[in-house]
């Protein structure tokens, strides 16, 4: 499943705005470090969501462009810092900022992107009180993202993680920025309190669904489309919701637990071992659990769309939500 | 020379507000990491400056409290990240955040402080358009601070640094946040365009003077007061304006150059060698250059104070400026 053409077009426009906004500052090296991830592309889902909500409610998607770019730049700033913390050398097939430059430059570039994002936000053509609401929701959101990243880092050092706390981490690391996008779009569109609240919740659920679908793709995804080998999350020992669910539900001792542990985090596991581990996850119900959980979240998200008037953008958001749990990459 | 009692009182009030603002968020570890530097104290010069300017112009220093706390929290966020980059283990006599916790936590705590600062700013009791101006100046300022930090990091890897570029770095790393404090205070006080512009420039000059006076203290300061051994900047090989000036002006080869290089960056230099190096700096005119430069900046800053009406706060800002280049710690 692919995104509708109109969204691809919007993504291209947003990309151009972002790159223009980042032609700023007199220090070429810092500017280059800041532009490195944004110029690498991305789906631009957050700005697109904000713009479509503003259009659906107030017919003014253009007014949401600075806000959308602000969120996308914030998203990129968190990626730059996350990659430093995780010592991740590659992002979207290109060297990470801290590899292309160095760690201090990556930390500074992240900070500078964050500052630039707020400066762009301040240029929004909305009245001062709407701007106040936007500054508040963006700030609260970035705080929650920081909590989510802290949870993620702290999970690394732990033996076990529960399904509930894993979902909280996913919500904070990913879904809150989707929620902020839709909330801000509704504010910019001049929506009612109810519309602002419902669209925020709609996008929160959508964001969780979107993110945990990644976990399904990491195990079942077609390597040609995801760009990762089949079952790569298993060999890497990545802690995904599927694994968290399985570890919580597999009896100790049990044959399926042994089969899973024989491949989990073993870079040299054979294809047969990985395949057997996937079958064990299937028998435990972990794959079903996560894919149906993803679909539950998105179904509820779609239900909340009823706060919007009937229009093309409402249909497109609905398609975007469907896409999030049907995409194969 | 000490700060006036009233400022010490204001600093205590600001401290309390900051600590209240940072009682936020549900993740105790992150909260603790965020509070670590702010609870360690500091002169709170930026919030005090903002409050005094708002009081002098609009008799409304209380309205400047959230803005002042925002700046102080931003100042602390930059310290947390700078210490990670510089691998500096100690800050104000206490372990750095990345030592007390770890580097990822310090990076996240810095980001979270930054986000929290804007959320506090959004609570300012000023009209929406004044808030827009504040968000813009704060964001532009943090961008410049990032450029300054990038310059500082990049200077480390270079053989020589010139006086002009060193001053640009100092301006960006320190003075712009002072400028932002005074500009924001004038905006909150409802000042004229002229007052806003002049107070910003006044504080920029004051900030440069304040910062380069540190370089004088690092060489000539009384160890009992600065808390550092006499001439510690020389043994540490710290690149200060005095050293930058000397390296630019000492002929190569020359006896004084040899005397300076015999102690510079040599942790085991004898007291005699350090004393001789200081004498060489004195003969080169580098100490005079920097102390008179600091006094030039602050004299011009004081002249710009004439944009303020006669009042107690104007006198106090004047005292604060005098203090910055007469303090002994």
What pLDDT score was predicted for residue B224?
74
Taking the C-alpha atoms of residue A20 and residue B159, their distance in angstroms, rounded to an integer, is 35
H or E stretch at B251: none
**Among A250-254, B146-150, B185-189, the least confident range:** A250-254
Chain A, 155-214: which have a CB under 8 Å from a chain B CB?
A: none
Which whole number is the average pLDDT over A209-221? 90
Class of domain B5-221+298-324: mainly alpha
pLDDT band at residue A1 using 50, 70 and 90 as cut-offs: low
Residue of B31, B111, B130, B168 for testing the chain A interface, max A β-carbons within 10 Å: B111
Short-list B301, B323, B92, B328, CA closest to B216? B328
From the list B81, B115, B149, the residue facing A143 with the nearest CB is: B115
Give residue-wise pLDDT tens across range A77-95.
Answer: 999 999 999 999 999 999 9
Which whole number is the average pLDDT over B297-315? 97
% of chain B surpassing 70 pLDDT:
99
Q: Which residue of A has its CA nearest to B82?
A: A104
Helix ranges, chain A (H)? 5-21, 28-35, 45-58, 65-86, 97-100, 103-122, 128-156, 163-170, 176-188, 193-220, 223-226, 232-235, 241-249, 255-263, 271-284, 286-304, 312-324
Short-list B73, B72, B48, CA closest to B61? B48
What pLDDT score was predicted for residue B222?
74
CATH superfamily for A5-215+293-324 is Farnesyl Diphosphate Synthase (1.10.600.10)
Short-list A21, B294, A243, A63, CA closest to B286? B294
Which residues of chain A does B135 touch, with a Cβ-Cβ cutoff of 8 Å? 118-119, 121-122, 131, 135
Which whole number is the average pLDDT over A111-128? 98
Are the C-beta atoms of residues A65 and A12 closer than 8 Å to each other? no
From the list B27, B130, B139, the residue facing A115 with the nearest CB is: B139
Taking the C-alpha atoms of residue B80 and residue A91, their distance in angstroms, rounded to an integer, is 26
Which residues of chain A does B147 touch, with a Cβ-Cβ cutoff of 8 Å? 25-27, 30, 112
What pLDDT score was predicted for residue A120?
98
The dihedral through the CA atoms of B202, B208, B213, B216 has a sign that is negative
Are the C-beta atoms of residues A29 and A81 closer than 8 Å to each other? no
Which whole number is the average pLDDT over B262-287? 95
Which residues of chain B does A132 touch, with a Cβ-Cβ cutoff of 8 Å? 122, 128, 131
Check B118 against A139: CB less than 8 A apart: yes
User: Can you read off the two tokens belonging to residue A299?
Assistant: 């179904």
Ramachandran region, residue B195 (left: φ > 0; alpha: ψ -120 to 50; beta: rest) = alpha
- Please report, for residues A107, B39, B92, B109, B134, the alpha-carbon distance to residue B83 in angstroms, rounded to integers and kept in the order given: 11, 17, 12, 12, 27
How far is the alpha carbon of B215 from chain A, nearest alpha carbon, in Å? Answer: 24
Predicted ipTM?
Answer: 0.95
Which whole number is the average pLDDT over A112-138? 98
Residue A94 phi, psi (nearest 5)? -125, 160
Short-list B162, B185, B153, CA closest to B88? B153
CA B175 to chain centre: 7
Give the count of Cβ contacts less than 8 A between chain A and B: 142
Short-list B51, B30, B85, CA closest to A152? B30
**Residue A30 scores a pLDDT above 90:** yes
Give residue-wise pLDDT tens across range A270-317.
Answer: 999 999 999 999 999 999 999 999 999 999 999 999 999 999 999 999
Check B111 against A114: CB less than 8 A apart: yes
What pLDDT score was predicted for residue B1?
67
User: Can you read off the two tokens belonging to residue B64?
Assistant: 């400047």
What pLDDT score was predicted for residue B124?
97
**Average pLDDT over chain B, rounded to whole?**
95
Check A115 against B143: CB less than 8 A apart: yes
pLDDT band at residue A225 using 50, 70 and 90 as cut-offs: confident
pTM: 0.95
Taking the C-alpha atoms of residue B119 and residue A293, their distance in angstroms, rounded to an integer, is 33
Q: Which residue of B has its CA nearest to A80?
A: B107
pLDDT band at residue B229 using 50, 70 and 90 as cut-offs: confident
């Amino acid at each position: 499943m692919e995104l509708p053409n109109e969204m691809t077009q919007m993504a291209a426009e947003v990309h151009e705005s972002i790159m223009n906004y980042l032609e700023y500052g007199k220090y070429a090296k810092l500017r280059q470090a800041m532009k490195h991830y944004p110029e690498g592309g991305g789906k631009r889902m957050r700005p697109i969501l904000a713009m479509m909500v503003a259009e659906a409610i107030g017919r003014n998607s253009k007014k949401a462009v600075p806000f959308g770019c602000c969120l996308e730049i914030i998203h990129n700033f968190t990626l730059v810092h996350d990659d430093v913390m995780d010592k991740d050398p590659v992002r979207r097939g290109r060297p990470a900022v801290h590899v292309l430059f160095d760690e201090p430059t990556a930390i500074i570039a992240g900070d500078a992107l964050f500052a630039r994002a707020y400066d762009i936000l301040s240029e929004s053509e909305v009245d001062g009180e709407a701007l106040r609401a936007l500054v508040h929701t963006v700030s609260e959101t970035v705080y929650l993202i920081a909590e989510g990243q802290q949870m993620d880092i702290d999970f690394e050092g732990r033996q076990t993680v529960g399904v509930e706390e894993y979902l909280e981490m996913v919500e904070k690391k990913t879904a809150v920025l989707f929620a902020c996008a839709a909330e801000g779009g509704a504010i910019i569109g001049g929506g009612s309190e109810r519309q602002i609240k419902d669209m925020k919740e709609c996008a929160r659920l959508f964001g969780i669904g979107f993110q945990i679908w990644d976990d399904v793709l990491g195990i079942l995804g077609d390597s040609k489309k995801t760009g990762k080998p089949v079952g790569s999350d298993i060999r890497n020992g990545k802690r995904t919701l599927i694994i968290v669910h399985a570890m919580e539900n597999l009896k100790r001792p049990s044959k399926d637990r042994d089969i899973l542990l024989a491949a989990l985090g073993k870079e040299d596991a054979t294809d047969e071992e990985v395949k057997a581990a996937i079958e064990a996850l299937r028998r435990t119900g972990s794959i079903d659990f996560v894919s149906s959980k993803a679909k539950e979240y998105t179904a509820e998200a779609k239900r909340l769309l009823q706060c919007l008037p009937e229009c093309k953008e409402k249909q497109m958001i609905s398609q975007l939500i469907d896409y999030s749990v049907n995409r194969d990459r």
